[in-house]
């Protein structure tokens, strides 16, 4: 018997140049005073200027450009206060996963129309009902159907100015989303279909995307979107649990995934040919493969992550995690 629930935004617009739709969509939702959440770096890019041009004349946007990598719950509180002070009627998350995680939480808390516009091909946050934020200095995942965007606009042209390292790390993150959602205990037929196709698209395009190939970047945007749909409805597993202690130490999420993914796959008895191919992609894109840290201390953090570990296809013990971290630290 096949039985599952699948949660997605009511509307997803995908395509090169599709950002132009933001104007019409806001008009139809009666949004006139959006709060745009983004990062300081994004403010300098042409893509942000495009967004502002589409919103000129009929809209009165407020911009918050201080969303940090691995954002904190305090940033959500600041944005919520700004939205209230400016009588904002909608929230636009314009950036990577960190920006969209903050935007979704603010919009949910204030019950505002939420539009997610990713500028990286990797996180899939535009289509998930999850927000990962630091609470008390540690990453915590908020999972709630109300975090689902009302509208996701995925415009691959916004991703052409991504630095090579960000293309690589966000792409590996998307690859991990596809793999872990496919093999997770909470997977289902629809998840597996999306995940398998996302995996094939990403692994065939990531190297060329890093070189700036626009068609490969378009394909990466599609692969990331499909992987987001998949893992948003099944969750990720051991690899992502292993990245949390690294992120708590300041390692960017995608790079932490690149470090831990081959080790998590080997622990889960994946075919060695697949693991070796993924390792080659990681090496070719110049991402890190090792780091320094206390294996026992990090393992204690991971063991608290019941959501990810319970979805892993193989049972995981404290000793297993310590052994994995020791291999990484020793470069094995």
Shared domain for 40 and 69, answered yes or no, is yes
pLDDT higher than 80, residue 138: yes
pLDDT for residue 175: 97
Mean pLDDT of 88-106: 97
- Taking only the tens place, the pLDDT of each residue in 44-73 is 899 999 999 999 889 999 999 999 999 999
Q: How confident is the model at residue 3 (pLDDT cuts 50, 70, 90)?
A: confident
Structure-model confidence comparison of residues 14 and 288, the more confident one: 14
Give per-residue pLDDT as tens, 105-126. 999 999 999 999 999 999 999 9
- pLDDT at position 302 is 96
Mean pLDDT of 18-28: 96
Kindly state whether residues 135 and 262 are assigned to the same domain. no
Residue 245 lies in a domain: yes
Residue 300 sits in the same domain as residue 229:
yes
Tally of domains within the chain:
2
Do 186 and 240 lie in one domain? The reply is yes
Any domain includes 310: yes
The set of residues, in sequence order, having a beta carbon less than 8 Å from that of 111 and lying 6+ positions away, is: none
Do 312 and 168 fall within a single domain?
Answer: yes
Note the pLDDT of residue 331: 75
| 6 domain residue, yes or no | no
pLDDT tens for each residue of 247-288: 888 899 999 999 999 999 999 999 999 999 999 999 999 999
Residues 237-241 have a mean pLDDT of: 97
> Pairing state of beta strands 11-14 and 62-64?
unpaired
> 28 pLDDT exceeds 80?
yes
- Identify the pLDDT of residue 32: 95
Determine the structural domain holding residue 69 and report its residue range: 11-159
150 assigned to some structural domain: yes
Average pLDDT value over all residues in the chain: 95
Same domain, 18 and 40: yes
Q: Is residue 4 part of a domain?
A: no
Please give the pLDDT value at position 178: 98
pLDDT of residue 1: 64
Examine the pLDDT at 206 and tell me if it is beyond 80. yes
Of 114, 72, 122, 75, nearest to 96 by C-alpha is 122
CATH code where residue 75 lies = 3.40.50.1970
**Assigned domain for 1 exists:** no
Q: Domain boundary at 118, 139, 159, which?
A: 159
User: CA 289 to CA 272: how far, in whole Å?
Assistant: 17
| Residue whose token pair is 């708590």 | 248
> Are 217 and 120 part of one and the same domain?
no
Q: Are residues 135 and 235 in the same domain?
A: no
Q: 292 vs 184, which has greater pLDDT?
A: 184
* CA–CA distance, 3 with 223 (Å, rounded to integer): 25
pTM score: 0.94
Would residue 3 count as lying in a domain? no
Does the pLDDT value for residue 91 go beyond 70? yes
Q: What is the pLDDT of residues 165-180, one digit of tens each?
A: 999 999 999 999 999 9
The SS3 of residue 269 is coil
Residue 211 predicted with pLDDT over 80: yes
User: Rounded to the nearest 5°, which phi and psi values hold at 12?
Assistant: -125, 125
Pairing mode, strands 113-118 and 130-135: unpaired
In a domain, 5, yes or no: no
pLDDT, position 76: 98
176 and 155 both lie in a single domain: no
CB-facing half-sphere around the CA of 134: CA atoms within 13 A:
19
Would you state the pLDDT for residue 332? 67
């Amino acid at each position: 018997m096949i039985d599952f629930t699948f949660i997605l935004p009511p509307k997803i617009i995908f395509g090169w140049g599709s950002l132009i739709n933001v104007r019409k969509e806001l008009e139809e939702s009666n949004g006139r005073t959006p709060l745009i959440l983004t990062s300081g770096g994004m403010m300098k890019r042409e893509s942000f200027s495009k967004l502002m041009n589409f919103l000129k004349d009929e809209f009165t946007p407020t911009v918050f450009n201080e969303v940090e990598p691995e954002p904190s719950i305090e940033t959500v509180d600041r944005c919520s206060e700004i939205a209230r002070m400016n009588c904002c009627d909608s929230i636009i998350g314009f950036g990577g996963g960190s920006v969209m995680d903050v935007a979704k939480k603010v919009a949910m808390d204030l019950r505002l129309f939420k539009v997610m516009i990713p500028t990286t091909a990797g996180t899939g946050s535009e289509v998930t009902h999850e927000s990962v934020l630091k609470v008390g200095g540690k990453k915590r995942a908020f999972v709630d159907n109300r975090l689902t965007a009302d509208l996701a606009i995925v415009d691959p042209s916004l991703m052409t100015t991504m630095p090579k390292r960000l293309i690589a790390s966000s792409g590996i993150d998307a690859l991990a989303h596809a793999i872990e959602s496919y093999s997770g205990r909470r997977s289902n037929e629809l998840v597996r279909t999306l995940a398998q196709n996302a995996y094939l698209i990403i692994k065939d395009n990531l190297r060329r995307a890093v070189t700036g190939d626009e068609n490969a970047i378009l394909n990466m945007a599609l692969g990331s979107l499909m992987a987001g749909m998949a893992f948003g409805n099944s969750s990720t597993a051991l690899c992502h649990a292993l990245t949390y202690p690294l992120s708590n130490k300041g390692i960017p999420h995608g790079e932490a995934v690149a470090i831990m993914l081959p080790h998590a796959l080997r622990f889960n008895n994946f075919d060695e040919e697949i693991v070796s191919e993924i390792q080659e992609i990681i090496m070719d894109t110049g991402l890190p493969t090792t780091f320094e840290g206390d294996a026992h201390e990090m393992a204690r953090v991971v063991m608290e992550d019941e959501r990810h570990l319970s979805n892993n296809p193989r049972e995981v013990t404290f000793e297993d995690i310590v052994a994995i971290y020791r291999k990484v630290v020793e470069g094995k």
